[in-house]
Amino acid sequence: MSTAPVFSEVQKINPSAIIELFTLQLDNSLHGATTIYRFHSGSNLNANGEIVWAGNSYQRFPIEATGFAYQRGQIPRPKLVVSNAFGTISAILILVNQTTAGNDLTGATFTRIRTMARFLDAVNFPGNSNPLGTPDPTAEFKRQIYTVDRKAAENRDVVEFELAGAIDMAGVRAPK
């Protein structure tokens, strides 16, 4: 991971767009699998489908992630609202709950990755050429890694999760 190219790009007069990518990784001891789900909430220039960055495909999926900012010295407790229109998240929850006793996604690792459009893989653009710059799989802002603390709500439209930092989990003390 290298933040220097990203900060250099942000300081330009006309920087490329910030691309927000998400990963959700299950924990084998909690969920019975180590599956990694990759998704993004936007679109790309190549048929508004998946975004490929660092060789990984991120599927387009309606998602709203908020609350990442530090305020008055408090550790952020982000909220994640994911569309459940096609029952995709409910299907993942049902699968996880079959292997664990109703654990939902509690304990899964959620990572927010931010990079710039300039650094996306060339396959995202028409003609397989990035017109904004050279692809760089290491150019990204500092990753924000959280743990799913609990499922706050689930209905046919959305599923809402509350996230917590590693030090903000119940029963965790610092230093360990």
- Ranges of the chain with pLDDT below 70: 1, 43-48, 98-103, 166-176
Q: What is the pTM of this model?
A: 0.84
- Quote the tokens at residue 59: 């599927």
Task: State the pLDDT at residue 3.
Answer: 76
Query: What is the distance between the alpha carbons of residues 107 and 147, in angstroms, rounded to a whole number?
Result: 6
Residue the block writes with tokens 């767009």: 17
Alpha helix locations (H) across 2-129? 4-10, 28-31, 88-99
22 with 111: CB under 8 angstroms? yes
Query: What is the distance between the alpha carbons of residues 137 and 118, in angstroms, rounded to a whole number?
Result: 11
Task: State the pLDDT at residue 110.
Answer: 93
Task: State the pLDDT at residue 160.
Answer: 92
Task: State the pLDDT at residue 102.
Answer: 58
Q: What is the DSSP letter of 6?
A: H
Task: State the pLDDT at residue 141.
Answer: 92
